[in-house]
């Protein structure tokens, strides 16, 4: 689906979230299978279908009745059992994404796109962004904030500058903050400056122990430099994908090295400079839980660590629960997954993302669910020697037309309705044979949100029990539904 953002208005954006067109047959709530009861309230429902016949489309309201009898597959929600607090849903504003948004769109197109992405009333309300600290595989070029000629060092960081970010990233961030001043930001470095590393290169190598304090101060300067633009970095990871090296900016950092860096440099340097930015360990795949467990087992390091972050390119989402079970006082964050040309079917991706990344991570204690690039072009870039066929949350073409990808709709079912500060609340699970999956939340205003995924090839009726009350719903095959209520 493409939108022309040249003449679009906020009213036009809002139509994305209105009811289906008149010639499109809506899904009506099924008849009650238990006692009818008396309606005490109504719930609102939005659906995205795998066949794209509905894209975050409002459905008829569901009746909440004072009767719990049902023969449909049912779950029970207990709002009295609050679990982790949600910090937000979103993606990464990479250098490539910021470049496209700033340079490939007119001012009107850019304002409309950012309103669509970050306004919760008339858009999908993304509430969390990840930033690359320096260059990544999705930047216009290789750089850090303190690059020096070969053989020259800068221990005092006199050459430190975020000028690269002031070209595209910071202007776009400033526009986003004008729409959502409370958006949360996480910074993740791909590499320290080459002169701080054992191999004197931005590619691979490790951080020299002699530069631990220098690199910690480098990250302090990054946080402080962004603050001069009115931008708060809420969290930082010491290294993106610390077990991966490649022909673009990367840096190896084993678990014991990360623990040593945190306890001997980053934590104390943050404390000495009154930096309250959270330190988040790991920031790599589900399959190596020994890494965050090693960092958290080091008490001297763990005192500075708020939690651990995960990616989904290997392993299973249950890994997050394993870390939570070992360290329930430490937070968990899901920080990266990308779609791409290796998987182009909308319905298959919608189901996989919803089950594993959005329902999966939040049911396994994550406070965030973030995709990779916020925006890419029709050639899957600009790239910097990394993935050549990745897909952004949206695609921007040379004419400034924007296509909303499956990642946009998967995120929207959470980001628009589950707002920062919400808590996941207890909900039982459907029998596995139904193909139904769910997660529930309570917002700070008392409104409730339930997301239901139907992975099965047929429409499913279901019931939701709320204490002495119940509502029945119907969800099409291969679809996602978000249901909200407040009473």
What does the mean pLDDT of the chain come to? 94
429 lies in the same domain as 401 = no
- Identify whether residues 133 and 261 lie together within a single domain: yes
- Are 34 and 67 in contact by the 8 Å Cβ rule? The answer is yes
Tens-place pLDDT, residues 368-377: 999 999 999 9
Average the pLDDT over each of 14-18, 377-381, 434-438 and give the range with the smallest value: 14-18
What percentage of the chain reaches a pLDDT higher than 90?
92
Residues 13 and 80 in one domain: yes
Which of these three, 385, 403, 420, is where a domain ends?
A: 420
Q: Note whether 238 and 253 are same-domain residues.
A: yes
Neighbours of 213 (CB within 10 A): 16
- Which residue segment(s) compose the domain that 10 sits in? 2-84+424-485
Q: What is the 3-state secondary structure (H, E, C) of the chain?
A: CEECCCCCCHHHHHHHHCECCCCCCCCCCCCCCCCCCCEEEEEEEEEEECCCCCCCEECCCEEEECCCCCCCCEEEEEEEEEEEECCEEEEECCHHHHHHHHHCCCHHHHHHHHHHHHCCCCCCCCCEEEEEECCCCCCCCCCCCCCCCCCCCCCCCCCCCCHHHHHCHHHHHHHHHHHCCCCEEEEEECCCCHHHECCCCCCCCEECHHHHHHHHHHHHHHHHHHHCCCCCCCEECCCCCCCCCCCCCCCECCHHHHHHHHHHHHHHHHHHCCCCCEEEEEEEECCCCHHHHHHHHCHHHHCCEEEEEEECCCCCCHHHHHHHHHCCCCEEEEEECCEECCECCHHHHHHHHHHHHHHHHHHCCEEEEEEEECEEECCCCCCCCCCCCEECCEEECCCCCEEECHHHHHHHHHHCCCCCCCEEEEECCCCHHHCEEEEEEECCCCCEEEEEEECCCCCEEEEEEECCEEEEEEECCCEEEEEEECC
Do 370 and 455 lie in a common domain? no
Q: Indicate whether 266 pLDDT > 50.
A: yes
Please tell me which residue in 241, 257, 404, 407 is annotated as part of the active site: 241
The domain boundary residue, chosen from 420, 436, 458: 420
Q: Does 32 have pLDDT greater than 70? A: no
The candidate with the shortest Cα–Cα distance to 346, out of 57, 123, 58, 49, is: 49
Mean pLDDT for 188-204 is 98
Cβ-in-10-Å burial (0-12, 13-18, 19+) of 445 comes to exposed
Average pLDDT estimate for 105-111: 98
Asked whether the predicted pLDDT for residue 34 surpasses 80, the reply is no
Which of 449, 436, 443 lies closest to 480, judged by CA? 436
- Residues 115, 37 share a domain: no
Active site residue 241: yes
Q: How confident is residue 19, by pLDDT bands cut at 50, 70 and 90?
A: very low
Looking at the structure, tell me whether residues 379 and 236 fall in a common domain: yes
In the residue annotation, 288 being an active-site residue is answered as no
**Dist. CA 361–CA 429, nearest whole Å:** 15
| Residues 406 and 461 reside in one and the same domain | no
The answer on 108 and 75 residing in a single domain is no
Show which of 370, 400, 420 is a domain's final residue.
Answer: 420
Same domain? For 101 and 226 the reply is yes
Residue the block writes with tokens 């047929």? 458
Asked whether the beta carbons of 68 and 470 are under 8 A apart, the reply is: yes
Confidence check: pLDDT of 315 > 70 = yes
Residues 40 and 99 in one domain: no
Is pTM beyond 0.85? Reply is yes
* 246 plus 386 within the same structural domain: yes
pLDDT at 20 over 90: no
Confidence label for 11 from pLDDT (cuts 50, 70 and 90): very low
Determine which one of 87, 336, 442, 455 is catalytic. Answer: 336
- Could you tell me the CATH number of the domain that includes residue 53? 2.60.40.1180
pLDDT tier at 75, thresholds 50, 70, 90: very high
Residue 36: count of CB within 10 angstroms of its CB: 12
Say what the pLDDT of residue 392 is. Answer: 98
What's the pLDDT at 13?
Answer: 35
Mean pLDDT on 401-422 = 98
**How much is the pLDDT for 177?**
98
* Residue 25 confidence (pLDDT) above 80: no
Q: Taking residues 163-188, what's their average pLDDT?
A: 98
Res 416 pLDDT > 60: yes
Output the domain CATH number for residue 158.
Answer: 3.20.20.80
**Domain count of the fold of the chain:** 2
Confidence of residue 36 (pLDDT cuts 50, 70, 90): confident
Instruction: Give the tokens for residue 368.
Output: 């965030």
Close Cβ partners of 268 (under 8 Å, ≥ 6 residues apart) = 216
């Amino acid at each position: 689906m493409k939108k022309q953002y040249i003449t679009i208005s906020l009213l036009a954006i809002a139509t994305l979230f209105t009811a289906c067109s008149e010639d499109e047959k809506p899904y009506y709530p099924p008849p009650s299978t238990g006692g009818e009861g008396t309606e005490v309230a109504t719930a609102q429902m939005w659906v995205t279908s795998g066949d794209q016949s509905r894209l975050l489309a409002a459905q008829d309201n569901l009746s909440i009745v004072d009767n719990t009898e049902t023969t449909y597959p049912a779950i029970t929600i207990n709002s009295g059992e609050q679990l982790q607090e949600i910090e937000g849903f979103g993606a990464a504003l990479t250098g490539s994404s910021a470049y496209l948004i700033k340079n490939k769109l007119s001012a009107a197109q850019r304002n409309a796109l950012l309103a669509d992405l970050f306004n919760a009333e008339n858009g999908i309300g993304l509430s969390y962004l990840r930033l690359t600290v320096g260059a990544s595989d999705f930047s216009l070029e290789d750089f850090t904030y303190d690059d020096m000629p070969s053989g020259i060092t800068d221990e005092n960081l006199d050459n430190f500058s975020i000028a690269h970010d002031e070209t595209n990233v910071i202007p776009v961030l400033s526009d986003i903050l004008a729409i959502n001043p409370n958006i949360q930001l996480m910074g993740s470095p791909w590499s320290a400056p080459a002169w701080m590393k054992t191999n004197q290169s931005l590619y691979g190598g490790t951080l020299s122990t002699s530069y631990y304090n220098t690199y910690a101060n480098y990250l302090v300067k990054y946080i402080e430099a962004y603050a001069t633009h009115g931008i708060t970095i809420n969290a930082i990871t010491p290294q993106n994908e610390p077990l991966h090296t490649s022909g673009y900016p990367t840096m190896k950092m084993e678990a014991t090295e990360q623990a040593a860096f945190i306890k001997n440099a980053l934590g104390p340097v943050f404390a000495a400079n009154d930096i309250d930015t959270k330190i988040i360990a790991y920031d790599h795949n589900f399959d190596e839980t020994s890494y965050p467990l090693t960092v958290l087992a080091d008490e001297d390091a763990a005192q500075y660590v708020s939690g651990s972050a995960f990616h989904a390119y290997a392993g299973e989402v249950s890994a997050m629960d394993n870390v939570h079970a070992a360290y329930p006082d430490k937070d968990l964050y899901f920080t990266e997954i990308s779609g791409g040309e290796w998987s182009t079917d909308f319905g298959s991706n919608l189901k996989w993302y919803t089950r594993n990344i959005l329902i999966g991570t939040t049911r396994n204690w994550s406070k965030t669910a973030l995709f990779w690039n916020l925006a890419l072009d029709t050639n899957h870039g600009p790239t910097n020697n990394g993935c050549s066929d990745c897909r952004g949350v949206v695609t921007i073409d040379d004419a400034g037309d924007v296509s909303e990808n499956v990642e946009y709709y998967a995120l929207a079912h959470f980001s628009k309705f589950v707002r920062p500060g919400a808590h996941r609340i207890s909900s039982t699970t459907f029998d596995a044979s139904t193909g139904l999956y769910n997660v529930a939340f309570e917002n700070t205003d008392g409104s409730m949100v339930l997301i239901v995924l139907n992975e099965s090839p047929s429409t499913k009726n279901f019931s939701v029990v709320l204490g002495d009350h119940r509502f029945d719903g119907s969800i099409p095959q291969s679809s996602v539904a978000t249901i909200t209520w407040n009473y």
